[in-house]
Amino acid sequence: MQILTPHVYWAQRHGEIYLRVELSDAKVRGHPPTAPSSCFHPYGHGAKGENPYTFSLEFLEPVRPEISHKSTQRQVDIKIKKQEERWWDRLTLQEKKPLFLAPDFDRWLEESDAEMEIQTKEEEKLNKISVESRVRKDPYLGLKKGYLFMYNLVQFLGFSWIFVNMTVRLFILGQDSFYDTFHTTADMMYFCQMMAVLEVINPLLGLVRTGVFPALIQVAGRNVILFVIFGSLDDMQNKPVVFFVFYLWSTIEIFRYPFYMLACIGTDWPMLTWFRYNLWIPLYPLGVVAEAVAVIQSLPIFDETRLFSIPLPAGLGHSLSFSYTLQLYLVLMFLGLFINFRHLYKLRQRRYRLRKRKAH
């Protein structure tokens, strides 16, 4: 029997050396007698049939004595730990590479890629630890997620009903549908917007990771329009502006709530995420303009009806019309638009930055 040298393929990481010996059904006797050199005596099927094989490598730097190896039907995988965790310029002390040795391209990584691999592994480990500690710390997590899922589902169904109802009526009745939007959808809108108060309470209770103030601006802003402008003035209820306000609100919500529902179960649909983080760009300013038109249209009605007017002391006149409060509110609306537009822009940036980092 002749003693042969097998083909050996190698790759490295900062802490390890991987050797792959092309032998089938092999058994290995290996010993690293004097670091930095190692000598291996596999026995198995190689290119020339069943034979004892041998090869030795004088490593560039010292390695640890413990060597692990695993024989499979096709090859022998050997893992050797470096004494010091650092990147080697080459495997062997001698500069000229032995003839039987070649890079293992299945495992090969350049130094920067190996660093990235370590970084990714560390990030994954940290993420796992933080998820585990969150789960361990919060015994009510399932209950909270269940509540949020149900809340978002109910809102999604409510706004979908409004959206579909308005769309169907628009197709059937055309512009005539503008005039009775309120009478056909207001009850559902009242329900959804009253429920939406929970969106201010949820972050206060720590159920969602979001700012209270943007949610307060959103909910308070819409409820002023719905309950004060449309709800209390019969003359506003059959104006086309109701159609535009309700349609703009429900268009965003039929994407936002299912997006949250999927977030509750740890899923996301790229298309839905795209709509959630992009649709507000045209819709939010349009929504504020539509709401501003509603406020402006209501001013003369409040002046005329004196509804909600503030009684003044004798000598200062009869009463102060609510329209003055609404004029101040108009300024607040554009301030609110600015604050929330900035908030939504930051959320979008954060989302896409996070995505890009995950993709690398």
Interacting residue ranges for ligand L7CU2Q4V, rule: CB under 6 A: 148, 151-152, 208-211, 214-218, 220-222, 248-249, 252, 256, 260, 263-264, 280, 283-284, 287-288, 291, 332-333, 336-337, 340, 344, 347
| Beta carbon of residue 244, minimum distance to ligand L7CU2Q4V (angstroms, whole number) | 10
Cα-based distances in Å from 180 to 91, 147, 242:
80, 34, 9
What backbone phi and psi angles, to 5 degrees, belong to 10? -135, 155
Cα torsion 228, 232, 235, 239: sign = positive
| Beta carbon of residue 349, minimum distance to ligand L7CU2Q4V (angstroms, whole number) | 11
Q: What length is written for the chain?
A: 360
Q: Which is nearer to ligand L7CU2Q4V, 8 or 264 (CB)?
A: 264
| Cβ neighbour number for residue 106 with a 10 Å cutoff | 9
DSSP state of 209: S
Cα-based distances in Å from 354 to 37, 146, 340, 351:
45, 26, 21, 5
Contact 162, 189 (CB under 8 A): yes
Token pair recorded at residue 30 = 């290996």
Token pair recorded at residue 224 = 């002023």
Of the residues 43, 147, 190, 284, only one is catalytic, namely 284
Please tell me the distance from the alpha carbon of residue 195 to that of residue 163, in angstroms, as a whole number: 17
DSSP state of 98: P
Of the residues 66, 291, 304, 352, only one is catalytic, namely 291
| Beta carbon of residue 256, minimum distance to ligand L7CU2Q4V (angstroms, whole number) | 6
* Number of residue whose CB is nearest ligand L7CU2Q4V: 287
| Beta carbon of residue 248, minimum distance to ligand L7CU2Q4V (angstroms, whole number) | 4
Task: Look at residue 267 and give its three-state secondary structure.
Answer: coil
Question: Is position 123 annotated as part of the catalytic site?
Answer: no
Going by their DSSP bridges, the two strands 63-71 and 8-12 should be labelled as unpaired
| Beta carbon of residue 206, minimum distance to ligand L7CU2Q4V (angstroms, whole number) | 11
| Beta carbon of residue 123, minimum distance to ligand L7CU2Q4V (angstroms, whole number) | 17
Q: How large is the angle between the packed helices 322-359 and 212-223, nearest 10 degrees?
A: 140
Q: Which is nearer to ligand L7CU2Q4V, 76 or 189 (CB)?
A: 189
Question: Is position 345 annotated as part of the catalytic site?
Answer: no
What backbone phi and psi angles, to 5 degrees, belong to 138? -115, 95
Q: Which is nearer to ligand L7CU2Q4V, 44 or 221 (CB)?
A: 221
Which of 8, 74, 89 is closest to 41 using CA atoms? 8
Q: Which is nearer to ligand L7CU2Q4V, 198 or 233 (CB)?
A: 198
Q: Which is nearer to ligand L7CU2Q4V, 96 or 357 (CB)?
A: 357
Q: Which is nearer to ligand L7CU2Q4V, 72 or 278 (CB)?
A: 278
- Residues involved in catalysis: 284, 291
